Structure 1
Amino acid sequence: MLRPILAGRCPCHILIILMLANSLTSQSVASEVKEPELDVRANNNEELDRNYLATLIERFDALAAAAKKEEQEAEEMVASIPTEQIEEALRFGQQYVEEWKQLEQRIAKEDENRFMLQGTSDKNGGTLLSPAAKYSARFAFIRHNPAAMAQSKEAAVDYVARQYLSDKLGIPAGKIGSINRLATSSNVTDRQAELPPLSPCNFNSKFRTIDGSCNSNYQPRYGQAGTIFRRLTSYNIYADNVSKFRTSVFGHPLPNPRLISTTVTVNDTVPDPSVTLLTMQWGQFLDHDLTLTPTFTRSDGTEFHCCSQEQTGFDVAPPHPECSPIAIPRGDKKYDPSGRGRVTCMNFIRSIFGKDLNGNTPTQRHHVNSLTHWIDASNVYGSDEATAQRLRDPNGNGRMKVSFNGDRQMLPLKPNCCNAPIPTGGTCTAICFDAGDGRVNEQPLLTLMHTIWVREHNRIVDNLHIVAPFQTPEFYYQHARRIVIAEMQHIIYNEYLPVMIGPERAAQVTSGEFPYSPYIDPAIATEFSTAAFRMGHSQLRSFIRLFDKSGQHSKDSYTLSDSFDEPFRMHQPNFMDDALRGLLQVPAMAVDNCMADDITSQLFKPKGQTLGLDLISLNIQRGRDHGLVSYFWMSHLLNSNYGLQTSPNQFDHLLPKMPVEVVSALASVYNHPYDIDLFIGGVVETPLPNAALGPTFAGLFALEFLNLRRADRFFYTSNIGQPYALTSNQLAEIEKVSLAKIICDNSDGSITRIQPKAFRVPDDLLNKPVPCSSLAGIDFPKFLPL
């Protein structure tokens, strides 16, 4: 029987004082927990410190240096362990992984037998599927990633071996470095899980590689697809400093994610009156350029079931070793309103973890990013060569492949059944699209955004044919891709960030004070990807309002919960422009504790069902899976350059940052403010002035986008004058671009007026709609020579 991976003792080193609270046994004595020696922002209206980012960079660089020193000490610790003990431990780890592989084969066989029953009617006319099976079909875009799974299994050999040595030698597992590489016998461990292949680099090329490699001449793997995320801090993120979920300061498990979701969030609507719904949609589109963390899946790409027969009536025995399902509390208002325990489990399987850029296993789990870590339009072009080639039109002379609906360019159709079950009779009727990111069909507004940018690529190619005729298809494709990436970067840093984090912080992010450096690791921070960038879930609206060209509400408006995996709406004659008008006119919801019911109980619900998943519960559980530090600790790290103030050791100390009703809700579910999960704490903060985000998430945004700019040799404003960079004339043309202009150029033609600042609601004084023809765009002759 498989043992849980790394159920070891806690580490000896503690940077902060959380673990001193282990001896406390109730919330009534929570105030006795010693406060960390940290500063905190006194209030949200304080003027931004001009050294804000410089201070944060210094602080997190120091944390990174300390973590690196600990890694080095862990490697030195390994060197002192006798070889025979190393190999004995590795054999134990290899045995664990062999059992793991056998278990997956067994699960696959049992699933095959079980699902032969699918569609068979019972005596009451229903199917032999349980309630859980009816609402647990999710993330149909997920594809099997055997290379990443192989990395995890090889890393697991190392982790289990370390735990074996920890138990045997009395050394904390987190203090033992990578040992897999030390095997001297070939039959001890089989290192087949290599890092993604690295092609020879041409550092004079003007064009990025598709997989993100060869950007830095210091470390060519920086930013490569299939490599791990980085951490801003690695202290007190796992209970055993390796992989076990973080625990409360009192030593017991953290509160149930579903209980937190139903207690702290409410199904209500509070719009942000200054920000358009386009901000939410751009955020999701951008996220799909930056991050995709694979989870453990079957070979067909479907996820393993983790809910047992007792919980749902769906017999899963034994579960996958990486299962960590979320319990549904008895009497849950959505999933168990009768209190009979009809549905008591939400499926959840942990993310794939991998190796560092040197091929070694980190001391703690670090998770794999399937995408490139750059802002490089990989959501349009793909993150691997096979995808990029599949999306190119072989006869288009540099254009991207498209399909047509009448005379309208649409995304290319997928040559399969869109990951949907083939209905009785074997005929696939599902319609879905292909794109650089597999989540393109998740909901129609996302499909729309993908369509805009494929059209933009082809529009640029058409213009390049005019100003630079008789070139090769590769010439047109690569130059158009280069321009598209620069346009996206310009929009992100000059339009999107000022809305999200405020103009002052955005100005610091783009400041020349922080120049390009090839030594900076661009890997996306897991604190950003798993917490801060999920803030857009609060911006979602339940009712997606469309407007026709006369300005009237369209009959094709719809609810979000009824549109998951329905990209065929794009084929409706007026959908695209009507939806764009809605995105440009309707305010987004405020980033707060108000969440649409469509994502708190109906996410990816199957057709004809009333229940889906709870995205807020999944976000909280994923944060624990990824080893996110607590909200209070990250909040202090990001705000400690402000006025001196003690940290919150009581819940009412959070009141300057959060509404009183939110603090009350947090206090009713968490035993101590130090326990609060990063996602839920960050999303409920009161926004900063002139910003959509509160101070913690704004700080994470600022750090992440600064890092992405500083590390990117190809960033559109960097290295001007170098052979691989834009020229000053080309940069001047890119700086004319706006998202409003992109929309005008690539809509279906009925959008003729638009507000210049597309992320801000129309305003007759500050953001008055203007004719599309008045908006500046690229003058392609001035882009020459290419």
Structure 2
Amino acid sequence: MLRPILAGRCPCHILIILMLANSLTSQSVASEVKEPELDVRSNNNEELDRNYLATLIERFDALAAAAKKEEQEAEEMVASIPTEQIEEALRFGQQYVEEWKQLEQRIAKEDENRFMLQGTSDKNGGTLLSPAAKYSARFAFVRHNPAAMAQSKEAAVDYVARQYLSDRLAIPAGKIGSVSRLATSSNVTDRQAELPPLSPCDFNSKFRTVDGSCNSNYQPRYGQAGTIFQRLLDFNIYADNVARFRVSVNGQPLPSPRLISTTIVLNDTVPDPSVTLLTMQWGQFLDHDLTLTPTFTKSDGSAVECCSRAQIGRDLFPPPHPECAAIMVPTNDPKYNPDPSSASVTCMNFVRSTFGKDLSGNIPRTRQHVNALTHWIDGSNVYGSSASHAAALRDLSSFNGKLKVSFINGRQFLPPGPNCCPGGAGAVWPNVCTSTCFDAGDERVNEQPLLTVMHTIWVREHNRIADALYRVAPGQSSEFYYQQARRFVIAEMQHIIYNEYLPVMIGPELAAQVNSPEYYYLSHLNPAIFTEFSTAAFRMGHSQLRSFIRLFQSDGRRDDDQSFLLSNAFNEPQRILSRTFLDNSLRGMLQTPAQAVDHCFADDITSQLFKPAGQRLGFDLISLNIQRGRDHGLPPYVWMLYYLTGNYLQMSLPFTFDQLVPRIPLEVVSAMKNVYAYPRDIDLFVGGVSEKPLPKAVLGPTFASIFALQFVNLRRADRFFYSSNVGIDPNSLSRNQFAEIQKVSLAKIICDNSDGTITNIQPKAFRVPDNLLNKPVPCGNLPGIDFTKLLPL
């Protein structure tokens, strides 16, 4: 947490300076280096041990048990502190949050005065819309979530109180448990927000709740939207073991993420000749089913400005928001400041993520960040993660449970999105003011056109299944068809992920271990997404992006008119409305190789991410990934490497850069030497994407192992997982239903839901077409669901 000021010395300007300094960790001290205690023996075999995943699970189960024990010891520590000291500390924490609120009000007032002086008078929903707010409307990572911010402020009271006790009792803050629960006086706590509401559970229902609750009868909140992530490793992650950004082994601040990006990353194209671009797009679509971390915003939902010119600027913006952690851009940066003598960009906007409570309502020992989505693979990108959003996406006039769509020129599209007027022009739907944006289960649907295409395919799939179920089992309610169609769509998604996607990403051997029947359902397992997965490993897809998106016509010719540069298409979903765009883009994703996962990234995301129309520069996504990893307390790469030790990995913690070769190419290691002081400083995202891939896999061993742990945990923890208790549990799929789902492929779903010009397709959609191993076949030759065999429902 930001280090609180001393009692009796809390003028606002001092608070501002201290909050900013702590956010940027410019005066951070070295964290204690905790050496590993595992007894790991050398093994130089190059083949994947068939017990590899079992070994990892056992190892991380032991780490989780140790972390739980430390949590209990921290709670016992708090219980030994006199009540009057607890309440004194909490009053100090409450004072900090009150000053935080006052600072936000001051910023809002100064913004309003400044915009009024500039003659800005337009309003949106009664809220003054500043130039910066208009600008930030294009920036997709602005996630306004008042409930999550309220949770954060309540947690902040606790964290500041712990730091206060730490300073006075000489106890490390990370050793002190949650203190707010011990308050005996209501005026020393700030009950800003409770956990998301929990409705009564019906454990006899075969249908999931929309918000992810009531899956486990051990802990009904497991997987619920609005609850926190969990960690694989929870030490050496913050400088103060609570919230301050990790520092170098030598105690100095880590190098600027932008300097790391320009030193290590190459704007180059290295395609993976065996993997289609559809793999990248499926990964993004899946990510939007699993994770969405709100960041701090202003009270009106507009972006917090940490730099002098909104998103990229000259200097820090005064006064800074307490959760600002702007990325410093070197004055000699080759893209942002090609002329160092007149450097115009020295600051890139970055606002920290919201953080919250654990499932018991206590405040964790370290910042744990809020997931606005359900943690399950449950199609929340299609259906939403709240009852209100799910209801808004349904066609309530439908008698067979369909989702809402727009019919444009006879074709089904997503429904129009709300609040799309600012900056937009023209109405596509009658009487709807819009800049052509769509609504879907996940709010990021409009980020780039290929993502919008994938959303469209799956909304069509739901409606296709709903129609089919009505035909084979007429006479039921609309709710019945909706829930049954949703249930089968989720099963299709899970089948594709575990049987098509994972073998490509982590290799068939490791994927087979993830799918092993020995990993059965366990009600006590927490399904919460691992921070290491969401904030590092699953961002590997950014390396798969191509700069130029090639579309192909139905006769095989390139569609030069509609092919596009990614940097010119952010937040332009209207491209999909063209008569041929959807099918031509699908053909492009099916025929074009993805980029390899490595240290090479498209220029579109290293300096032009979400750039405003007509501008030359936007964000650097690599810098944002690195900074977000520090914000979320990711362990360094070499620590993660050590704990994932297996047959593919070296058996000791690397102490020199040269020990990373040949796992990481020599030229990348040389670049790392030029920017990091020590191997143990390397950020997890940087090290993970730089590794050479496993055999027959896209990912290197570290990220592949995190993937394996994540997806086996999601499977084991999910009572509704499509392959669990088949034919045994009345709430699970029947044997006939399971057999039909096993026929499903992404290729067949694309055939069934395209605009009709995709008539031939390779059976393995994530693999490039190959006349020997993956030869395109007529769509009619692919097996599909026989809906009569799904009966009885």
TM-score (norm 1): 0.93
CA positional deviation for 1:300: 3.1
Corresponding letter in the other structure for 2:345: V
Q: Which secondary structure does the structure 1 equivalent of 2:644 belong to?
A: helix
Q: Is the 8 A contact 1:9 1:173 kept in 2?
A: no
2:35 aligned partner? 16
**1:516–1:91 Cα change, 3 Å:** same
Is residue 2:611 matched to residue 1:605? yes
Question: In the aligned structure 1, how far is the partner of 2:141 from the partner of 2:313?
Answer: 25
Aligned positions, number? 758
Q: Which residue of 2 aligns with 1:388?
A: 390
Q: Distance in 1 between matches of 2:40 and 2:308?
A: 44
The one-character-per-residue Cα deviations of 1:557-609 (angstroms, maximum 9, x if unpaired) are 00000000000001111000000000000000000011000000000000010
Show the counterpart of 2:545: 540
In 2: Cα distance, 1:117 partner to 1:545 partner: 46
Aligned to 2:689: 683
User: 2:599 — aligned with what?
Assistant: 593
For 2:291 and 2:649, the matched residues in 1 are separated by 35
1:27 matched to which residue of 2? none
Name 2:50's counterpart in structure 1: 50
For the pair 1:730 / 2:737, whether they are aligned, the reply is yes
CA contact (8 A) 1:140 1:302 kept: no
Deviation (angstroms), 1:186: 1.3
Give the deviation of 1:415 after TM superposition. 3.3
| 1:427 CA drift (Å) | 10
**1:323 matched residue in structure 2:** 324
Contact 1:741 1:777 in 2 (8 A): yes
Counting only pairs closer than 5 Å after superposition, residues 557-576 of structure 1 correspond to structure 2 as: 557-576=563-582
Cα contact 2:306–2:316 (8 A) shared by 1: no
Q: 2:455 aligns with which of 450, 455, 461?
A: 450
Determine if the alignment matches structure 1 residue 373 to structure 2 residue 368. no
- 1:357 partner SS: coil
The alignment partner of 2:594 has SS state of strand
Change (3 A) 1:137 1:671: farther
Gaps of 5+ in 1: 18-34, 121-128
Match of 2:8 in 1: none
Aligned to 2:272: 272
1:441 aligns with 2:446: yes
What is the deviation of 1:73?
A: 0.8
1:453-464 equivalences in 2 (<5 Å): 453-464=458-469
Give me the whole-angstrom Cα distance separating, in 2, the residues matched to 1:140 and 1:646. 40
SS at match of 2:62: helix
**Deviation, structure 1 residue 648:** 2.1
- Matches of 1:427 and 1:571, distance apart in 2: 16
Residue of structure 1 aligned with 2:764, choices 757, 760, 763: 757
| Equivalent position amino acid for 1:535 in 2 | M
2:777 is the counterpart of 1:770 = yes
Alpha-carbon distance in 1 for matches of 2:81, 2:197: 32
Q: Partners of 2:117 and 2:730 in 1: how far apart?
A: 62
1:250 maps to amino acid? N
Matches within 5 A, 1:84-233: 84-116=84-116, 138-140=138-140, 142-233=142-233
Partners in 1 of 2:772 and 2:615 — Cα distance? 46
Quick one: distance in 2 between partners of 1:243 and 1:698?
A: 28
Equivalent in the alignment of 1:415:
418
Aligned counterpart, 1:616: 622
Cross-structure match for 1:68: 68
1:337 matches 2:356 = no
Q: Indicate if the aligned counterparts of 1:39 and 1:639 stay in contact, CA closer than 8 A.
A: no
Letter in 2 for 1:544: I
Q: What is the rounded CA distance, in whole Å, between the counterparts of 2:56 and 2:512 in structure 1?
A: 15
SS of 1:187's equivalent in the other structure is helix
Deviations 1:144-191 (A, max 9, x none): 211111100000000000101111111111111100111111111132
* Aligned-partner Cα distance in 2 for 1:119–1:541: 42
In the TM superposition, what are the counterparts of 1:391-540 in structure 2 within 5 Å? 391-397=393-399, 398-417=401-420, 420=423, 428-540=433-545
Partners of 1:622 and 1:353 in 2: CA distance: 13
Question: Residues of 2 paired with 1:134 and 1:370: CA distance?
Answer: 24
Question: How far did 1:314 drift?
Answer: 7.3
The alpha-carbon deviation at position 140 of structure 1 amounts to 4.0
Task: State whether residues 40 and 644 of structure 1, in contact with CA within 8 Å, keep that contact through their aligned partners in structure 2.
Answer: yes
| 1:572-583 alignment runs, 5 A limit | 572-583=578-589
Amino acid at match of 1:782: K
State the 1:50 CA deviation. Answer: 0.9
CA contact (8 A) 1:141 1:419 kept: no
Q: Check 1:583–1:517 CA distance in 2 against 1; reply closer, same or farther (3 A cut).
A: same
Partner of 1:715: 721
Q: Does the Cα contact within 8 Å between 1:38 and 1:636 map onto a contact in 2? A: no
Cα distance change on mapping 1:344 and 1:117 into 2, 3 Å: farther
Matched residues in 1 for 2:476 and 2:248: separation? 63
Question: Separation in 2 of the partners of 1:159 and 1:41?
Answer: 43
Q: Secondary structure at the match of 1:272?
A: strand
Whole-Å Cα distance in 2 between the matches of residues 304 and 591 of structure 1? 32
Distance (Å, rounded) in 1 between the aligned partners of 2:213 and 2:191:
23
Residues 526 and 644 (structure 1), Cα distance of their counterparts in 2 relative to 1, 3 Å cut: closer
1:112 CA displacement: 2.2
The aligned counterpart of 2:126 is none
Moved more, 642-651 or 292-301: 642-651
What TM-score results when the alignment is normalised by the length of structure 2?
0.92
Offset, 1:15: 3.4
| Contact 1:212/1:383 (<8 A) preserved | yes
Relative to 1, partners in 2 of residues 1:336 and 1:765: Cα closer, same or farther, differing over 3 Å?
A: same
Residue 23 of structure 1 aligns with which residue? none
Say if 2:468 and 2:787, in contact at 8 Å, map to a contact too.
yes
SS at match of 1:757: coil
Q: Following the alignment from structure 2 to structure 1, what is the Cα–Cα distance between the partners of residues 689 and 118?
A: 40
CA distance in 1, matches of 2:352, 2:653: 32
Measure the CA separation in 2 of the matches of 1:386 and 1:116.
36
Query: Could you tell me how far 1:139 is from its partner in structure 2?
Result: 2.8
**1:124 — aligned with what?**
none
Aligned to 2:700: 694
Which amino acid in 2 is paired with 1:317?
A: P
Counterpart code for 1:539: Q
Counterpart-to-counterpart distance in 2, 1:396 and 1:195? 34
Give the secondary-structure state (helix, strand or coil) at the position aligned to 2:187. coil
TM-superposed deviation, 1:62: 1.0
Tell me the alpha carbon deviations over residues 56-98 of structure 1, each in whole angstroms, 9 at most, x when there is no partner.
Answer: 1111111111111111111111111111111010000001001
Question: Alpha carbons of 1:141 and 1:322: their partners in 2 closer, same or farther (altered >3 Å)?
Answer: closer
1:262 alignment counterpart: 262
Q: CA deviation at 1:295?
A: 0.3
1:288 to 1:530, Cα distance in 2 relative to 1, 3 A: same
In 2, the alpha carbon distance for the partners of 1:708 and 1:579 equals 31
Shift in Å at residue 465 of structure 1?
0.7
Q: Distance in 2 between matches of 1:199 and 1:136?
A: 36
Alpha-carbon deviation of 1:302? 2.2
Aligned to 2:186, what secondary structure does the other structure show?
coil
Q: Distance in 2 between matches of 1:541 and 1:557?
A: 12
Tell me if the contact between 1:744 and 1:752 (Cα under 8 Å) persists in the aligned partners.
Answer: yes
* Residue aligning to 1:25: none
Aligned AA for 1:497? L
- Within a 5 Å distance, the mapping from 1:279-294 to structure 2 comes to 279-294=279-294
1:131–1:696: structure 2 CA closer, same or farther, 3 Å change rule? farther
Corresponding letter in the other structure for 1:542: S
Q: Which residue of 1 aligns with 2:123?
A: none
Q: What's the counterpart of residue 304 of structure 1?
A: 304
Per-residue deviation, residues 732-772 of structure 1 (Å, max 9, x unmatched) = 00000000000000000000000000000000000000000
Cα distance, 1:255 vs. partner?
1.0
- The whole-number CA distance in structure 2 between the counterparts of 1:463 and 1:36 is 55
- Mapped to 1, the partners of 2:348 and 2:131 lie a distance apart of 11
Q: Equivalent residue of 1:274, what SS?
A: strand
Tell me how far apart the structure 2 counterparts of residues 330 and 511 of structure 1 sit (CA, whole Å).
53
Matched, 1:703 2:727: no
Q: Hey, what does 1:740 align to over in structure 2?
A: 747
